[in-house]
Structures are given as structure tokens and as C-alpha cells.
Amino acid sequence: MTQALKLDLGCGPKPKDGFLGVDVRDYGRSDIIVTDLRAYYGQWKWDDESVDEVYANHFVEHLAATDRVHFANELYRILKPDGFAEII
């Protein structure tokens, strides 16, 4: 059985336990993928329906309106049909 792919989007310097961090800044940690999730940078690097769980704590409010639409579309695209997203 493969390990669940869980992403902490906009994690800052300390991703949630058990999650792979994703942030625009490089914090020098091996458990954080450095990437920009805004619409200008296009499709996110994860495959369709490949992510089991997403956590985003105080991240979405930092996005511009068009980037929020892109965020929702990409979230829908990458989450597995039975996937879960917690957005705070």
C-alpha cells in the first residue's frame, strides 16, 4: 500500500506533522517543496486526483481574487475523489 500524499499549502517554516510542506519561500528544509501556487505560475506540479489530503492554515487570504479561483480549481483537480481539504 502506498503512503498517503498530504500537503500543507503555505506552510511557512514548519509544516504540519505528517504533511509535506509547500511554500513560496525556501526555509532550507527537506520536508518543504518550494513552489509558487499563484495562477500566474500555472498548473500545480501534482497529478490529477493524486493527493489524499490538503491543509491550508491562513494561506488563502493572502491570495488575490483570481489566485483564489485558481486555488479552488487546482485543489479540485489534484484531490482524489475521496480526498479531504481543511482550509482555515
Residue 2 reports pLDDT greater than 90: no
- For the cut 80, the answer to whether the pLDDT of residue 1 exceeds it is no
Q: What whole-number distance in Å separates Cα of residue 50 and Cα of residue 81?
A: 9
- Tens of pLDDT along 47-81? 999 999 999 999 999 999 999 999 999 999 999 99
Q: What is the pLDDT of residue 39?
A: 87
10-42 tens-digit pLDDT: 999 999 999 999 999 999 999 999 999 998 888
Kindly state the cell numbers that stand for 1. 500500500
Q: Does residue 46 surpass a pLDDT of 80?
A: yes
Residue 78 burial (C-beta neighbours within 10 Å; 0-12, 13-18, 19+): buried
Q: Which grid coordinates belong to 30?
A: 527537506
